[in-house]
């Protein structure tokens, strides 16, 4: 098969003829149709992700495609079924094996690109906001990086949960994207002070003490400003550190304001909570099928051009979700 393979952390992946994967018990072998692109793809290549492959590997955490074969013990899908899956890595390739527990049959009407663009970004936001932060109707949620692949889904998911959403993004165009996807208020962090604007907005909403929930995939100064514009009892969701700076949380502020800092790593959460994982993914699939959520796919790349997609993610020039079409001869 053709694949992008990385031989050592820190090296640039190479476009190669790779060995076809072999299905093992409990696994599913999938002909990859599409693969979602995530910021974490850049981290695993550097050896900075939570999971570290041993030996040559291909990036790519969320895929859709057609089942080629199933291993012993797998009965919920069969060859030729259309599925989506979340392998530990390996999606930048024409074939991949995935843990059968994380392979889900696609309902009729859900196409491959949407399925590949949807799992990690929407899964992260839905599980974090609903199951970890317990967002309630009427609460005010502050979403950072709201025009990016994950932040944009947080805007949509928070609105589905009945929240009022304040979104931050950089520049007029990105702010408009957040607004178009349901944000009630938008802050341009390039020209406005996040802390001051949040306080102004929440005061206008009759909640002068600040926001109830912060969804932060950025970290750094964004986190520091957020901590100073939250209401007593607020919950701060730590999703990632796209800024490159991991915040050092002043515990005295958490104590005085009774604020809860909640770490959320989607992959580990699925493994630790399999029953909730099945329920939550079923909820999301139903909303995808009905059109209640619509992945914003801003660009689709051929597999051989996958490094261009990674560059756009690393340089933060992408809006919405990027997808790689992994089907040969298309």
DSSP collapsed to 3 states, 267-279: HHHHHHCHHHHHH
Both 167 and 209 in a single domain?
yes
Both 143 and 244 in a single domain?
yes
Tell me how many degrees the CA angle 279-155-202 measures, rounded to the nearest 5. 125
Both 130 and 89 in a single domain?
no
* SS3 assignment, position 10: coil
Within a domain: 227:
yes
Q: Give me the pLDDT at residue 203, please.
A: 96
Both 306 and 233 in a single domain?
no
Residue ending a domain, choose from 222, 244, 265: 265
Compute the residue count for the chain.
Answer: 330
Within a domain: 283:
no
C-alpha–C-alpha distance, residues 68 and 78, integer Å: 8
Within a domain: 250:
yes
The closest alpha carbon to 216, from 126, 128, 310, belongs to 128
Both 130 and 205 in a single domain?
yes
Both 94 and 226 in a single domain?
no
Domain span at residue 158?
Answer: 120-265
Both 127 and 196 in a single domain?
yes
Both 53 and 185 in a single domain?
no
DSSP state of 20: P
Q: Which residues pair with 23 in a beta bridge?
A: none
Both 78 and 124 in a single domain?
no
Within a domain: 51:
yes
Both 41 and 81 in a single domain?
yes
Residue ending a domain, choose from 244, 265, 286: 265
Both 138 and 168 in a single domain?
yes
Q: Which residues contact 48 (CB under 8 A, 6 or more apart)?
A: none
* Domains in the chain, number: 2
pLDDT in tens, the chain (330 residues): 999 999 999 999 999 999 999 999 999 999 999 999 998 899 999 998 888 999 999 999 999 999 999 999 999 999 999 999 999 999 999 999 999 988 999 988 899 999 999 999 899 999 999 999 999 999 999 999 998 878 999 999 999 999 999 999 999 999 999 999 999 999 999 999 999 999 999 999 999 999 999 999 999 999 999 999 999 999 999 998 888 889 899 999 999 999 999 999 998 898 888 788 878 988 998 899 888 988 889 999 999 999 999 999 988 888 778 999 999 876
pTM: 0.83
Query: Is-contact 100 26, C-beta < 8 A?
Result: yes
In the chain, where do the E strands start and end? 2-5, 14-17, 27-36, 63-70, 82-85, 95-99, 103-105, 140-143, 164-169, 185-188, 211-216, 230-238, 260-263, 297-302, 321-325
Q: Give me the pLDDT at residue 184, please.
A: 98
Q: Give me the pLDDT at residue 242, please.
A: 81
Q: Which residue in the block uniquely carries the two structure tokens 């527990």?
A: 101
The dihedral formed by the CA atoms of 154, 160, 164 and 166, expressed in degrees to the nearest 10? 20
Q: Give me the pLDDT at residue 95, please.
A: 98
CATH number of the domain that residue 315 is part of: 3.90.180.10
Within a domain: 186:
yes
Both 87 and 137 in a single domain?
no
């Amino acid at each position: 098969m053709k694949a992008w393979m990385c031989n050592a952390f820190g090296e640039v992946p190479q476009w190669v003829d790779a060995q076809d994967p072999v299905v093992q018990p409990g696994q599913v072998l999938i002909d990859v149709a599409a693969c979602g692109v995530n910021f974490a793809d850049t981290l695993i290549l550097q050896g900075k992700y939570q999971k570290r492959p041993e030996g040559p590997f291909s990036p790519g955490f969320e895929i859709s495609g057609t089942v080629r074969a199933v291993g012993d013990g797998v009965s919920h899908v069969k060859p030729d079924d259309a599925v989506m899956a979340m392998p530990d890595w390996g999606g930048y390739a024409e074939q991949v094996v995935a843990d059968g527990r994380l392979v889900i049959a696609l309902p009729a009407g859900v196409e491959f690109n949407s399925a590949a663009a949807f799992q990690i970004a929407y899964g992260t936001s839905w599980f974090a906001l609903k199951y970890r932060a317990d967002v309630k109707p009427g609460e005010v949620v502050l979403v950072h990086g709201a025009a990016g692949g994950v932040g944009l889904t947080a805007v949509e998911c928070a609105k589905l949960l009945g929240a009022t959403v304040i979104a931050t993004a950089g520049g007029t165009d990105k702010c408009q994207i957040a607004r178009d996807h349901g944000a009630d208020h938008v802050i341009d962090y390039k020209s406005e002070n996040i802390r001051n604007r949040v306080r102004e907005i929440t005061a206008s909403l009759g909640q002068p003490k600040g926001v109830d929930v912060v969804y932060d995939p950025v970290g750094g100064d964004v986190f520091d400003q957020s901590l100073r514009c939250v209401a007593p009892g607020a919950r701060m969701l730590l999703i990632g550190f796209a800024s490159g700076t991991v915040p050092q949380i002043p515990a005295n502020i958490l104590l005085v304001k009774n604020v809860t800092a909640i770490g959320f790593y989607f992959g580990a959460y699925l493994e630790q909570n399999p029953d909730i994982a099945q329920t939550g993914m079923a909820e999301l699939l139903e909303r995808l099928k009905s059109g209640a959520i619509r992945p914003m796919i801003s660009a689709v790349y051929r597999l051989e051009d996958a490094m261009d997609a990674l560059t756009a993610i690393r340089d933060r020039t992408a809006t919405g979700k990027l997808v790689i079409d992994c089907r040969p001869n298309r």
